[in-house]
Amino acid sequence: MSLFSAVEMAPRDPILGLNEQFASDDNPNKVNLGVGVYFDDNGKLPLLQCVQAAEKAMMDKPAARGYLPIDGIAAYDAAVKSLVFGADSEPVVSGRVATVQAIGGTGGLKIGADFLKKLNPDAKVLISDPSWENHRALFGNAGFTVESYTYYDADKRGVNFDGMLASLSEATPGTIVVLHACCHNPTGYDISPEQWDQVIAVVKARGLTPFLDMAYQGFGHGIAEDGAVIGKFVAAGLTFFVSTSFSKSFSLYGERVGALSVLCENKDEAARVLSQLKIVIRTNYSNPPIHGGAVVAAVLNNPELRAIWEKELAEMRVRIKAMRQKLVDGLKAAGVKQDMSFITSQIGMFSYSGLSKEQMIRLRTEFGVYGTDTGRMCVAALNSKNIDHVCQAIAKVV
């Protein structure tokens, strides 16, 4: 009798499972729109020029690899604060933001979740319906009961905003509300700035704890435009959590570069919160790795490299938007009768296509076009070579 004899096989991760299926598909026209990764027009994962320049400078001056401080590289944390809140913003100037380097955006969420569990163990967590699937699992594993607030409206092809407000209005004080700061994953539908004002009013009136997940800053309308929602929460006088990911915006997926920022009421509170975040980190993985954080800090803190990054990020953003338009046009040309223009009203990497599970399975098995069973497609993986095949395939299944 082994210690592990009763261990059950866990279900496969739906996205990674899809990747495996894609890898073993011998269809020469196969297209992977499953995983949330940006590919360039040649179907290649980009290695940004700004990253290469930063790495070259680091190679020219090799540094030894001691342990980082528990909260990471100081210059990195400072750069994240400036990016998220604004360098001259009141929260940064007054020193009331606690920021720690994290292992990707996922790490930022997890540090925040573990800290919140100690702070408010009985709180419930609300995530959008639907949400990035890992939100549920991550907060669930941190010990929280996770429920959802109304978000997607399939019939209307958009956000059920009244429903969203109603769900938030019913939440008990202290409830942790996970909000997608921009580029909602998986639907691609964001709420408008005016709707954010209304959400913030409810969050404030109900005494909810906002946790903003910012995994795509710069992929929507621009770095400042996507970050503007943070300014709204600050202006409302709220304290809140923000997780940051540079996986997509720096194309540094495998370096695992992210952060958690907690906006506190004052500097003294921020120091105490930081000390607790450090305990969470220390007892999980002690301190973060150097390379990715050093690259991002070097780019964000150097005006020349930063200008290159902003240009490269804008290119990715613009290319995704162009692909959305090509998809709408291509589907029409391929004979799709339904109005597919909703694809261009979505933003970020993903499109909820509205296709059924059966249609998604047919796309995969008959045409080698891989999206998730929920109908989510990563439009950031479309390019001038695969778009026609994708449009033809969709036209045949709808």
Q: What is the binding site for ligand PMP (CB under 6 A)?
A: 36, 104-106, 132, 180, 185, 213, 215, 245, 247, 258
Set 71, 77, 213, 226: catalytic member: 213
Q: Nearest-CB residue to ligand PMP? A: 104
Strand partners, 213: 180, 243
DSSP state of 178: E
Q: Which is nearer to ligand PMP, 105 or 112 (CB)?
A: 105
User: What would the two tokens of residue 339 be?
Assistant: 């109005």
Cβ proximity of 179 and 210 under 8 Å = yes
Q: Measuring CA to CA, which residue among 149, 161, 169 is closest to residue 189?
A: 161
**Amino acid at position 205, single letter:** A
Min dist. Cβ of residue 32 to ligand PMP (A): 15
Set 132, 226, 309, 326: catalytic member: 132
Cβ proximity of 350 and 377 under 8 Å = yes
Q: Measuring CA to CA, which residue among 312, 325, 311, 315 is closest to residue 379?
A: 325
Q: Which is nearer to ligand PMP, 380 or 394 (CB)?
A: 380
Min dist. Cβ of residue 331 to ligand PMP (A): 25
Min dist. Cβ of residue 381 to ligand PMP (A): 13
Rg from Cα positions in the chain? 21
Q: Measuring CA to CA, which residue among 211, 226, 32 is closest to residue 135?
A: 211
Q: Which is nearer to ligand PMP, 105 or 288 (CB)?
A: 105
How far apart CA 155 and CA 319 sit, in angstroms, is 28
Report the relative pairing of strands 240-245 and 257-263 from DSSP bridges. antiparallel
How far apart CA 308 and CA 314 sit, in angstroms, is 10
Q: Which is nearer to ligand PMP, 144 or 367 (CB)?
A: 144
| Helix/strand/coil for 9 | coil
Min dist. Cβ of residue 23 to ligand PMP (A): 19
Min dist. Cβ of residue 95 to ligand PMP (A): 26
DSSP string, 35-83: S-----TTSPPP--HHHHHHHHHHHHS-----PPPTT--HHHHHHHHHH
How far apart CA 396 and CA 336 sit, in angstroms, is 9
Min dist. Cβ of residue 230 to ligand PMP (A): 16
Min dist. Cβ of residue 202 to ligand PMP (A): 21
Q: Which is nearer to ligand PMP, 215 or 393 (CB)?
A: 215
Active-site annotation holds for 61: no
Q: What's phi and psi for 93, nearest 5 deg?
A: -60, -40
Burial of residue 257 (CB within 10 Å: 0-12, 13-18, 19+) is buried
Active-site annotation holds for 248: yes
Q: Measured in whole angstroms, how far is the alpha carbon of residue 253 from the centre of its chain?
A: 12
Q: Which is nearer to ligand PMP, 185 or 351 (CB)?
A: 185
Set 114, 248, 309, 326: catalytic member: 248
Q: Which is nearer to ligand PMP, 180 or 317 (CB)?
A: 180
Active-site annotation holds for 213: yes
Instruction: Report the catalytic residues.
Output: 132, 213, 248
